[in-house]
Amino acid sequence: MNELINQFLAGQSLLLLCYLIGSVTFIIGLKMLSHPETARKGNLVAAAGMTIAIVGTIFLYRDENLSRLHNYLWIFAGLAIGGFVGTLVAKKVQMTAMPEMVSMFNGMGGACAMLISVVEYHHLKEVSGGELVIIMLGMIIGTVSFAGSMIAWGKLAGSIKDKTIPGAQFINFALFAGILLLAILLICGFSESHLMFYAVLTMAAAYGVLFVMPIGGADMPVVISLLNSFTGVAAAFGGFLYSNPVMLTGGILVGSAGTILTILMCKAMNRSLKNVLLGSFGGAKHVASGTAQTSGGSYKEISLNDTATLMAYANKVIIIPGYGLAVAQAQHTTHELEKVLEEKGVEVLYGIHPVAGRMPGHMNVLLAEADVPYEKLLELEDANDQMAGTSVVLILGANDVVNPAAKEDPGSPIFGMPILEVEKADHVIVNKRSMKPGYAGIENPLFFRPKTSMLFGDAKKVLQQLVTELKGM
């Protein structure tokens, strides 16, 4: 018996060491993600730590009766299927679809947290008050994250349109109050009905759907960050439930990082989180007043030859990437343009708005894929400081992040949002497919200003032609 106890203690000590390694690698990996040069290694470090924790759990875990895990066939089948599908999707996904994939994977994390709570609710014969609180919180938050992420995924993919439901705020409030009431009744022992438990789950799913449905496209980076933090918090409750340090550490890291990122996104848009969740910025039925929704007059076009001439004789060019660049898969061509201009003695920089694209850091990811030096990427404030001494600003598919209505039109829904102040430059060239408004549905008066010239066409094709023109000079 003593020998068995010693074996158990030795195995548990080794398992705790695996968990410690996993927790430490999560922290190191997250730190390494803060810079493009180390981000790839950071992912690999965290993945290695997770692998160690998973292998340790499978082979070293023992319960109080010294029993091992069983159903190895199901465990390894799940790992194999999940690993194969994840690898396949990651290899095939286009960079333009990266936001949808992030939402999908985040939703799967929320679903896992929800399923853990459902399984443990039925598995534990006598659930204590503390355990039931953890189960209910994990289930509610995980379900909201899963349902909301699926709606966000559909909206980003274009299969779900923004919809403002009459009385949606009242319905959401009623659902939230109902969830709290039923959860309290279950936790306090006033009811032990499984039906009530699943009623809470259903209401949480409905709340997740209605919570994201009316939120407009321009607020998607904030929503993705918020849902990501929800998934992390739900996973942390799973860690509490299983007394698992790796789940707890990973969940806390994701939850706290997602929360901080959400706050930063709101700050970048000069909007409160409440305003994001209730304001429906960029929603289907959004109507703005003032100059942001009225045509500012006629616009002027510029030819490729004139654009090339302007840029070839410029002292500094700042490129503003937007979602149009991502759609056209033009990041590599943009980097080629940068190198051609630098050969001609032109300084080239990139102005990055925090909420450009469809997810936090979207433009940074695209440009990093094309090996654009990180030092050339200027954050909002630094980019604005450089604008006054810039000969040409080239805007590639960006709209809302350069819209002067944010500074000039109190009736605009983006009024007060910090923007890239491109009009400080000598010349502004905007590459777009057409004059249609951006993702937020707000017209941009910048396009009609004297300094602005429009260069229509697919970003990749236009840039390729521009590179050819420059090489011929």
The domain boundary, picked from 267, 286, 305, lies at: 286
Q: Which residue has the tokens 């000969």?
A: 391
Please list, in sequence order, all residues whose beta carbon lies within 8 angstroms of the beta carbon of residue 41, skipping any fewer than 6 positions away.
Answer: 32
Shared domain for 377 and 236, answered yes or no, is no
408 and 330 co-located in one domain: yes
Number of compact structural domains in the chain: 3
Q: What is the pLDDT of residue 251?
A: 93
Among the candidates 286, 310, 330, a domain finishes at: 286
- Is residue 382 annotated as a catalytic residue, yes or no? no
Which are the contacts of 223, defined by CB distance < 8 A and separation ≥ 6?
148, 152, 212, 215, 276
CA distances (Å), 349 to each of 33, 320, 323, 379, 439, in order?
A: 22, 9, 18, 11, 25
Tell whether 87 and 162 lie within a shared domain: no
Domain boundary, last residue among 266, 286, 306: 286
Same domain, yes or no, for 270 and 310? Answer: no
Whether 99 and 139 share a structural domain: yes
Whether residue 421 sits in one domain with residue 298 = yes
Instruction: Give me the DSSP letters along 220-240.
Output: HHHHHHHHHHHHHHHHHHHHH
Please classify residue 391 by burial: count the beta carbons closer than 10 Å to its beta carbon, then call 0-12 exposed, 13-18 middle and 19+ buried: middle
- Report how far residue 360's alpha carbon sits from residue 355's, in angstroms, rounded to the nearest whole number: 6
Stretches where the chain sits below pLDDT 70 are 1-11, 63-66, 95, 125-129, 162-164, 216-218, 271, 275-297, 437-441
Q: What are phi and psi of 346, to 5 degrees?
A: -95, 130
41 and 184 inside one domain: no
Average pLDDT of every residue of the chain: 85
CA of residue 59 relative to chain centroid, distance: 35
Do 355 and 238 have their domain in common?
A: no
Beta bridge partners of 349: 318
Is this prediction's pTM over 0.85?
A: no
Using CB atoms within 10 Å of the CB of residue 95, give its burial: 0 to 12 exposed, 13 to 18 middle, 19+ buried. Answer: middle
What CATH number does the domain containing 441 carry?
A: 3.40.50.1220
Residue of 162, 219, 400, 409 marked catalytic: 400
State the pLDDT at residue 224: 86
Q: What DSSP letter does each residue of 328-378 carry, written as one string?
A: TT-HHHHHHHHHHHHHTT-EEEEE--TT-SSSTTHHHHHHHHTT--GGGEE
Same domain, 369 and 422: yes
Other CB atoms within 10 Å distance of the CB of residue 345: 10
Structural domain boundaries, residue 59: 1-92
